[in-house]
Structure formats: C-alpha cells, structure tokens
Amino acid sequence: MARIRIGFDVSPLHAPHPPGVVRATRGLVESLERRGVLDVVRLAPQRDLRAWRHKRLPALVSELGLLGLHSPVSSFPLRGPGRRLQTIHELPWRHGVTENADWKHRFWAAWGPARADLVLCPSEHVARDLRQRWLPGAARIRVVPWGVGAPFGDLPEPGAVDEMVLGKYRLGQDPIALCIGAVREKKNLAAALRGLAELRKRHGPRIQLVVTGPDTPQLRRDLGLASQLGLSRFVSTPGEIPEGDLAALLRLASAVPVLSRSEGFAFPVLEALASGSVPVVPRDSAQSELAGTAGVVVDANDPASVADGLVRAVMERETLRFDCVERAAHFTWDACAARVEALWQELA
C-alpha cells in the first residue's frame, strides 16, 4: 500500500516564530521523517511568507500529489485542493495576555477551524478554550501533546560533568530555581520573585533564581522589581544558554518555576520532568496538566503559595525526581508522531 503523502509547512524553521513553535515543528517533522509511516514533503517558504502560504502552497498540493497540508501554526491556505490540518497552540487573550493576541491570531482561532479538516491542540487546556470559543467545530479538535528528547534527560552524556556549568555561568552552590526564558511579560517572572521575597522574609532556605534568555525590556523591569524586593544577590541572569548547558542546569536545578499566565503546552515543564527536576506550576493551567502529580501546584497570584511551592520542591526534590522522570516518559516525539500519523490516516 502506498504511503500517505502530505506537505508539511516548515516555515517556523525558516522565519521568526516563538521558540516553542520552532521546537514543536522541528521535533514533529523530524520524528515523522524518521518513522517513515507518512511520506512527508517539507515545504519551505519563499520571501513573502503570506503570499507563499496562501498562493503557492495550494498549487503544490496538486503538483506534488499531496493528500493535504499539515500546518504547525494556526495560519494555512483557506482555498485550494487537499485536506487541511491546523495547529492552534494557545488562546492567550482568554487569560488576559496580550502577547500573540492580535487580530490575526484571533481570526485564525475563530475562523480557521471552519475550513480545517482537523485542528490539533497540544493540551486539553487549549482544546477546552477552543471548544468554548467555537462549539460548532468541537468534533474536529484533537489533543496531541508534544514530546521531549535529547539532550534532556536525568543523566548526562558519558564523560560529561554537569557541575562544570556552575563555574561557566558563575553560579553558586545554593539550590537553583531555574526560570527558563522568563524574559517576556507572559512568563510572569514577577510571581517567582515575589515568592522568593516571601521566602526570604521567613528566613527559609537560600535559593538562587537563575533566569535564562536574552536581555529584554521586560527582564530589566523584573530586575528592577528584584532590586526593590532586596533580591538582587539571589538572582542570576546568564543570558541565552545552549541546549547542552541548559540540560545540565536542569539536572542540577531543585525547582523549575513555570508560572506563565498563559501557555499552550510549556516545554520547560516537560524538559524539567525529563531531567528529574521539579516543575512549580500554576493550578488550572496547561503547565499543571502536563506536570500531573509530579509537579508542585501553586497559586501564582499568592506569594505565600509560591514560596511554599519552592520550599517543597527543594526539600522533596530527591523524592519527586523519580515521579518526574516517569511522567516525562509518556511524552516522546515517537508517541506524538504516531498520533499525528493516525490523524492523517483518519483524513485519508
């Protein structure tokens, strides 16, 4: 039997997109290609992304004999032959977040499902938001969580010593609470800072907050808050960190606060789980859905609750790490690709 032939829009790998979208696109398309169940044709954009997506892509369906197009983002060609699989990562405006909440994102979340044959969401949290917004198309929505793989794991590569990164980034020996990429407003670094300030008031255990990511105006505002709270010496900002070093830091971290106001999936939670580090997550969020019972759930709006969560993560890290690794084992790129293959077989 001939394999199902699909076109995969890989524009996030060639044009600026949020890091999570890039990671999801790369992980999924590489896994689909490796497995070989589907005949995947990578479709890379030309200069004008919008014109390429809405004019050139429909023509390629016929020219290349494709069953349809897999879009790793919410935008896809509305007209033309073939099936359409749309991806909606999150609806941030439903949670008071303005990032990626402009009219274009709202349009595709509102009207894309009316044209798509199936809509993929990375979490039940997003699917629920979408069903409430677009009840007529609820039957088309499918939940397919993303995966995790190397270099993230609970053991370093043979011959590697994780502790070397502490010296490389001038970090001390206190327990680490690692805030990955918390340099954007939606990441809610302020919640972690206020929780740490509450912990200092209680004379609780010393914790160093390590914030990765580039220098941004939001990071500077949050560092100003850290100064006002008297936390400057407890906060480190090593900048952008390569994946290998990030994996080592995750294995060394006692806690990984991911207190974002809106997430569709939250790769830092899954990477923390795979590394045996405890994610600290808000209740009723995509983060808590992903972490399951392996995470420490807090009220991100309550500094006392965040402080309690940080203490628990630090004190119970060695006990919880086994639950974390076991939880992460359910989220592989192979499992993600198998679910996507089933969706395309359904469309065929």
The DSSP symbol for 234 reads G
Sheet-wide strand order for 296-298: 235-239, 208-212, 176-179, 255-257, 278-282, 296-298
Whether residue 121 is found in the same domain as residue 197? no
Average pLDDT over every residue of 77-89: 94
Whether residue 143 is found in the same domain as residue 268? no
Q: Are 290 and 123 in contact (CB under 8 A)?
A: yes
Whether residue 276 is found in the same domain as residue 228? yes
Angle at which helices 267-275 and 317-328 cross, to 10°: 120
Average pLDDT over every residue of 2-9: 92
Q: What is the CATH number of the domain that holds 68?
A: 3.40.50.2000
Q: Give the tens place of pLDDT for each residue, 167-207.
A: 999 998 899 999 999 999 999 999 999 999 999 999 989 99
% pLDDT > 90, the chain: 82
Q: Give the tens place of pLDDT for each residue, 270-305.
A: 999 999 999 999 999 999 999 999 999 999 999 999
The answer to whether residue 153 sits within a structural domain is no
The answer to whether residue 299 sits within a structural domain is yes
Residue 48 amino acid letter: D
What is the band of 137 on the pLDDT scale with cuts at 50, 70, 90? low
Q: Give the tens place of pLDDT for each residue, 220-270.
A: 999 999 999 999 999 999 999 999 999 999 999 999 999 999 999 999 999
Whether residue 217 is found in the same domain as residue 339? no
- Contacts of 223 by beta carbon, 8 Å cutoff, 6+ apart: 232, 235, 237
Task: Tell me the two tokens of residue 103.
Answer: 């009219």
Whether residue 315 is found in the same domain as residue 337? no
Structural domains counted in the chain: 2
Whether residue 180 is found in the same domain as residue 108? no
Side-chain-facing half-sphere of 77: CA atoms under 13 Å? 23
Rounded CA separation 313/318 (Å): 9
DSSP 171-188: --SSPEEEETT--SGGG-
% pLDDT > 70, the chain: 99
pLDDT of residue 25: 97
Average pLDDT over every residue of 79-94: 94
The answer to whether residue 20 sits within a structural domain is yes
Range of the domain at 267: 164-328
Q: Give the tens place of pLDDT for each residue, 44-74.
A: 987 788 888 888 999 999 999 999 999 999 9
pLDDT of residue 50: 85
pLDDT of residue 154: 87
Average pLDDT over every residue of 114-119: 92
Whether residue 139 is found in the same domain as residue 221? no
Tell me the average pLDDT of the chain. 93
The residues facing 278 across adjacent strands are 255
Whether residue 66 is found in the same domain as residue 176? no
The answer to whether residue 338 sits within a structural domain is yes
Rounded CA separation 255/178 (Å): 6
The answer to whether residue 140 sits within a structural domain is yes
Task: Give ∠ CA 34-269-113 in degrees, rounded to 5.
Answer: 65
Whether residue 133 is found in the same domain as residue 199? no
The answer to whether residue 143 sits within a structural domain is yes
The DSSP symbol for 211 reads E
pLDDT of residue 1: 56
Whether residue 46 is found in the same domain as residue 193? no
- Contacts of 122 by beta carbon, 8 Å cutoff, 6+ apart: 24, 87, 89, 143, 144, 145, 146, 264, 265, 286
Q: Which of 325, 173, 322 is nearest to 165 (CA)?
A: 173
Q: Give kind and range of the element (H or E) at residue 200.
A: helix 189-201
Task: Tell me the two tokens of residue 215.
Answer: 């220098």
Whether residue 91 is found in the same domain as residue 211? no
The answer to whether residue 154 sits within a structural domain is no
Q: Are 212 and 184 in contact (CB under 8 A)?
A: no
Greater confidence (315 vs 156) lies with: 315
What is the band of 114 on the pLDDT scale with cuts at 50, 70, 90? confident
The answer to whether residue 97 sits within a structural domain is yes
Whether residue 322 is found in the same domain as residue 338? no
